[in-house]
Amino acid sequence: MAAGLTEAEVGDVGVPVIAGLGMAQPPGAAQDELWTGFFEKHFSGTTRALAERIFANSGVTRRQAAVNPLLEDVSEWPTERRMRRYQVEALPLGKEAVSRALTAAGLDAGDIGLFVVCSCTGYATPGLDILLARDLGMAPDTQRMFVGHMGCYAALPGLGAAGDFVTARQRPALLLCAELTSLHIQPAGTRVDTQQIVSHALFSDAAVAAVVVPGGRGYAVREVTSVTDTSTADHMTWDVTDSGFRMGLSPKVPKVLSRFVGDLVDGLLARHGCDRSGVDGWAVHPGGPRILTVVERELALPPTALAASRETLAEHGNCSSPTVLLILDRLARTPSPPRRVVMLAFGPGLTLYAALLERTG
């Protein structure tokens, strides 16, 4: 038997395992406070009544913002100013999340062989990957990968890349998802734009890091898989404009998800000799309440299966790419952590990503 491993862990020697998670979030505000203190005035006329209903039915009770609209209105800022602020705010959040993940995994920054950074809300060169590698003391030969503009599902291809590196090189990898959606509040405008209202009602800021190592205790990454329906590419967009990044979000998204999510999940599970009944943990990206309702219905899940996803949406909003990792952390911290977890996230493409995790140790 390998030294320091139990019998249950020997079969997972060398398999990529999430050994540590670390979270960092800016200060938060209640959804009601955000509405009465800013957005009620941001929207006008018939738009205001519609926006009030959307905010009230968003499933969000509290959100976090590095640039809080109650204190600072960025809606008229040009994109350049928003990008400069992104670097100022994202760097300390990323450093905090990475440091916590490394501590949880019992590693130093110098142990990391691959550093993957996912973000679709800000760009600069040198980027977060270089600046954090410098500030945290990563080795000069640490490889880096930046994943941009994949949106809400980016954590899963990022996790897949980290897992593949660990399998091939037998060295630790680090994934960081950092998003500052608060920088992209759009100008008020004069016409009803339901997509922007929904975006402003849901999105939030967060940074979450995950350390992936070869074998040991944690959640083994068994597989990451996806499906993309390119005929619906216009259903979810994230356009760079002179006034920040602008969300396009079609009401048809839940219908597309309903066509693909069942086969995606069942195929993933079948390849590992199990089915839905063998899954006791579901980390489903809460793109909004309707998304969770559709997934719950199409997978015939019990009412409590998506509790962690709904609680994360309520307490943190939709944080884009870090959100599924926030949900995984919530599941892992329960008194009886799930043994087998399916992670699901959705985004531009229209793309569905899934991952199967199994607890070791």
Distance in angstroms (rounded) separating the CA atoms of residues 109 and 111? 5
Residue 131: both structure tokens together: 């600046």
- Strand-pairing partners, residue 173, are 114, 212
Asked if residue 97 and residue 223 are part of one domain, the reply reads no
pLDDT tens series, the chain, 361 aa:
333 444 344 446 789 999 999 999 999 999 999 999 999 999 988 889 999 999 999 999 999 999 999 999 999 999 999 999 999 999 999 999 999 999 999 999 999 999 999 999 999 899 999 999 999 999 999 999 999 989 999 999 999 999 999 999 999 999 999 999 999 999 987 566 888 999 999 999 999 999 999 999 999 999 999 999 999 999 999 999 999 999 998 889 999 999 999 999 999 999 999 999 999 999 999 999 999 999 999 999 998 999 999 999 999 999 999 999 999 999 999 999 999 999 999 999 999 999 999 999 7
Query: What is the CATH number for 208?
Result: 3.40.47.10
Asked if residue 325 and residue 193 are part of one domain, the reply reads no
Coil vs helix vs strand at 326: helix
Specify whether 152 is catalytic.
yes
First to last CA, the chain: 14
Residue 314: both structure tokens together: 């309520």
Residue 2 forms part of a structural domain: no
User: What is the structure's pLDDT at 17?
Assistant: 98
Closest to 319 in 3D by CA, of 342, 344, 288, 289: 288
Asked if residue 157 and residue 24 are part of one domain, the reply reads yes
User: What is the structure's pLDDT at 191?
Assistant: 66
User: What is the structure's pLDDT at 218?
Assistant: 97
Residue 291: both structure tokens together: 């998304």
Residue 167: both structure tokens together: 């399998």
Burial class (CB in 10 A: 0-12, 13-18, 19+), 80: exposed
- What values do phi and psi take at 34, rounded to 5? -65, -40
CA atoms within 13 A on the CB side of 297: 11
Closest to 128 in 3D by CA, of 98, 173, 158: 98
Burial class (CB in 10 A: 0-12, 13-18, 19+), 277: exposed
Given 192, 214, 236, the domain boundary residue is 214
**CA distance to 153, 225, 266, per residue, from 294 (Å):** 17, 20, 16
User: What is the structure's pLDDT at 346?
Assistant: 95
Asked if residue 353 and residue 246 are part of one domain, the reply reads yes
Give this prediction's pTM: 0.94
β-pairing, 173-180 with 114-118? parallel
Residue 236 forms part of a structural domain: yes
Given 147, 181, 214, the domain boundary residue is 214
Asked if residue 141 and residue 252 are part of one domain, the reply reads no
Which position has the token pair 């205001």?
48
Enclosing domain of residue 296? 218-360
Residue 3 forms part of a structural domain: no
Catalytic residue among 118, 152, 177, 319: 152
Given 198, 214, 230, the domain boundary residue is 214
Q: What residue type is assigned to position 58 of the chain?
A: S
Residue 190: both structure tokens together: 């004069």
Tallying the residues shown for the chain, one arrives at 361
How many domains does the chain divide into? 2
- Strand-pairing partners, residue 180, are 205
Asked if residue 226 and residue 136 are part of one domain, the reply reads no
Asked if residue 330 and residue 223 are part of one domain, the reply reads yes
Distance in angstroms (rounded) separating the CA atoms of residues 64 and 29? 6
**CA distance to 77, 161, 278, 341, per residue, from 225 (Å):** 38, 12, 18, 14
Residue 56 forms part of a structural domain: yes
Residue 200 forms part of a structural domain: yes
Radius of gyration for the alpha carbons in the chain, expressed in angstroms and rounded: 20
